[in-house]
């Protein structure tokens, strides 16, 4: 072992250092949990949502907790801290899998443990890369933010993608920063949060007894030269957000009166034949009330009709009669069914059906991004029978994905047809998917979902925050229809104007501004994750630079061929 190598061994690896590290990382886990919304009562009337204040501390505490560790140890410490945090955030998966999926409780444990562990892997990867950057002398708040965003973006598409609890969503109520996502997507908020958080961590003095010795780059990285520049950058970003927000004036814009119907049908009885008439009756009665309030468009949630449309003409005719009676255009969530599949010659879709005021069904949008193991089974020949045995309620009938996200057009309203995007449930987790609706001409979003699966947990409110982010990214209003809530009206800046409580029968009626391009849409809607891609390239460059430095220190030279 050389003198240089020996100098990088921590001077104090005893109990004091471990206790301090455990304290930092325990605080990181608690702060991360509290950075996302959680209801304070069973109806969700009051919600604990501290993200815009607390989320800055999450990356700060993480960096402090791994400071001075070797990359492998940093990976392990960060993994278990992040795993603990995300298991708590994702505890609602137990409700999905056990209560409504009818799985064995041991299987139910795998939901939060597995998804929490998957999410924690990316936090752990950040930790390993960060400490390597520290040792190479290239650690800065800017580098940390770029690496974090690159890993966030990777998580959004790897193995079909999983974006729940992306750090940027914690800023969904930060009105000063939200306008930035029209340029960067949610990843811009993750970048700013990590940038500020790591700058805060730099203000905490290093304890030589708990870090590597003074000859290493870690000690040198404790300098504070970057902090004033970070503060200046954040001040400019806040100023930019204020200017952009004030410039978005909607006065004089044509509006459409839209109603959201929240039928509040418990998941446990939703598909019971005994509840079919009662369910449709609730939705029909609320739709008549909405029409009496002047609604021109009435939106029902995902699979609001407890059955399929496309085979039995009586079901379709009943909805046509309702459209004629109310004189409104209907957007109805139901199961679409077609011939041509492998299951008794039929294919099933999670769909939204459009009905004109004259009763004609004019179009159907099919959900394109399905829930793995919930709506379809990956590698079905290997896993289908196994899943059916241990969790029969989760994927009894595999669904077929729609071809691609596409805009649907409602019949002319006063002056012109209304093009809209109708993202269905899980699709709202994916910013690149939703932006395609705006890119292709959508003037507003009708987001339909069935959040009854989540029970009375924090999931409906965390999902609402993601939906609000989609509005802000694309500068379009969103009408959100959820079976048991939270249904909401969200403006083009991502602000929730009105919302329902959970597990209450209700309706919302609002005048929604039409936002055709260039008023609607955004840089992000047109070009997608350019910012995240730049962060990815920066991360690769940083990694290559640290490898080159390591080769130089060990005396290795690249081979010449």
Contact criterion met (CB below 8 Å) for 442 and 385? no
**In this structure, what is the dihedral angle of CA atoms 214, 14, 120, 33, given to the nearest 10 degrees?**
-100
What are the distances in angstroms from CA 268 to CA 100, 108, 276, 453, 454?
Answer: 7, 17, 13, 9, 12
3-class DSSP string for 412-473: EECCEEEEEECCEHHHHHCHHHHHHHHHCCCCCEEEEECHHHHCCCCHHHHHHHHHHHHHHH
Tell me the C-alpha distance between 428 and 421, whole Å: 11
Residues 6+ apart with CB under 8 A from 323: 329, 330, 355, 356, 357, 358, 359
SS3 of 155, please? Answer: helix
Tell me the C-alpha distance between 390 and 108, whole Å: 10
Contact criterion met (CB below 8 Å) for 477 and 185? no
R_g (Cα) of the chain, nearest Å: 25
Peptide bond into 486 cis (omega under 30): yes
Interhelix angle 105-136/57-66, rounded to 10 degrees, is 70
Tell me the C-alpha distance between 179 and 171, whole Å: 11
Question: Closest Cα to residue 47, out of 507, 451, 500, 504?
Answer: 500
Residues 6+ apart with CB under 8 A from 535: 145, 146, 147, 149, 150, 153, 187, 191
Residues 6+ apart with CB under 8 A from 290: 259, 261, 298, 326, 328, 507, 509
SS3 of 364, please? Answer: strand
Tell me the C-alpha distance between 561 and 557, whole Å: 12
- Residue 14's Cβ-count burial label (10 Å; 0-12, 13-18, 19+) is exposed
Provide the annotated active-site residues: 302, 367, 425
């Amino acid at each position: 072992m050389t003198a240089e190598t020996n100098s990088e061994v921590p001077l104090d690896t005893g109990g004091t250092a471990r206790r301090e590290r455990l304290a930092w990382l325990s605080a990181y886990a608690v702060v991360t949990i509290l950075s996302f919304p959680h209801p304070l009562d069973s109806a969700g009337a009051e919600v604990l949502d501290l993200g815009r204040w607390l989320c800055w501390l999450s990356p700060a505490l993480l960096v402090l907790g791994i400071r001075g560790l070797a990359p492998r140890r940093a990976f392990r410490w960060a993994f278990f801290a992040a795993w603990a945090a995300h298991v708590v955030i994702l505890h609602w998966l137990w409700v999905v899998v056990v209560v409504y999926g009818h799985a064995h409780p041991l299987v139910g444990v795998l939901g939060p443990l597995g998804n929490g562990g998957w999410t924690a892997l990316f936090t752990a990867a950040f930790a390993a890369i960060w400490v390597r950057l520290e040792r190479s002398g290239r650690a800065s708040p800017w580098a940390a933010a770029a690496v974090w965003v690159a890993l966030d973006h990777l998580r959004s598409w790897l193995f079909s993608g999983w974006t729940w609890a992306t750090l940027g969503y914690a800023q969904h109520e930060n009105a000063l920063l939200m306008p930035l996502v029209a340029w960067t997507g949610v990843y811009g908020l993750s970048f700013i949060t990590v940038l500020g958080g790591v700058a805060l961590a730099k203000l905490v003095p290093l304890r030589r007894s708990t870090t590597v010795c003074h000859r290493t780059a870690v000690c040198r990285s404790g300098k504070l030269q970057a902090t004033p520049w970070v503060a200046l950058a954040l001040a400019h970003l806040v100023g930019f957000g204020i200017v952009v927000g004030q410039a978005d004036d909607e006065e004089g814009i044509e509006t459409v009166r839209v109603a959201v119907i929240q039928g509040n049908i418990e998941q446990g009885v939703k598909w019971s034949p005994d509840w079919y008439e009662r369910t449709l009756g609730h939705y029909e009665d609320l739709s008549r009330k909405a029409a009496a309030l002047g609604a021109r468009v009435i939106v029902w949630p995902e699979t609001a009709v407890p059955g399929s449309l496309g085979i039995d003409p009586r079901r379709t005719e009943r909805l046509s009669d309702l459209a004629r009676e109310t004189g409104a255009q209907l957007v109805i969530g139901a199961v679409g069914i077609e011939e041509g599949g492998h299951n008794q010659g039929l294919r099933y879709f999670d769909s939204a059906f459009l009905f004109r005021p004259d009763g004609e069904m004019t179009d159907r949008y099919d959900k394109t991004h399905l829930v793995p193991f919930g709506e379809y089974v990956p590698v079905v020949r290997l896993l289908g029978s196994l899943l059916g045995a241990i969790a029969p309620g989760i994927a009894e009938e595999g669904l077929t994905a729609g071809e691609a996200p596409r805009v649907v057009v409602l019949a002319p309203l006063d002056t012109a047809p209304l093009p809209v995007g109708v993202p269905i449930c899980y699709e709202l987790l994916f910013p690149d998917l939703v932006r395609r609706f705006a890119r292709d001409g959508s003037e507003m979003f009708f987001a339909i979902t069935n959040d009854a699966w989540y029970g009375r947990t924090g999931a409906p409110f965390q999902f609402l925050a993601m939906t609000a982010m989609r509005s802000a990214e694309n500068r379009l209003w969103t009408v959100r229809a959820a079976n048991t809530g939270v249904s909401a009206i969200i403006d083009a800046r991502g602000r929730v104007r009105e919302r329902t409580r959970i597990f209450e029968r209700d309706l919302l009626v609002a005048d929604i501004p039409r936002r055709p391009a260039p008023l609607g849409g955004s840089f992000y809607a047109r070009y997608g994750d350019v910012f995240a891609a730049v962060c990815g390239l920066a991360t690769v460059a940083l990694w290559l630079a640290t490898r080159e430095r390591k080769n130089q220190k060990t005396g290795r030279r690249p081979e010449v061929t």
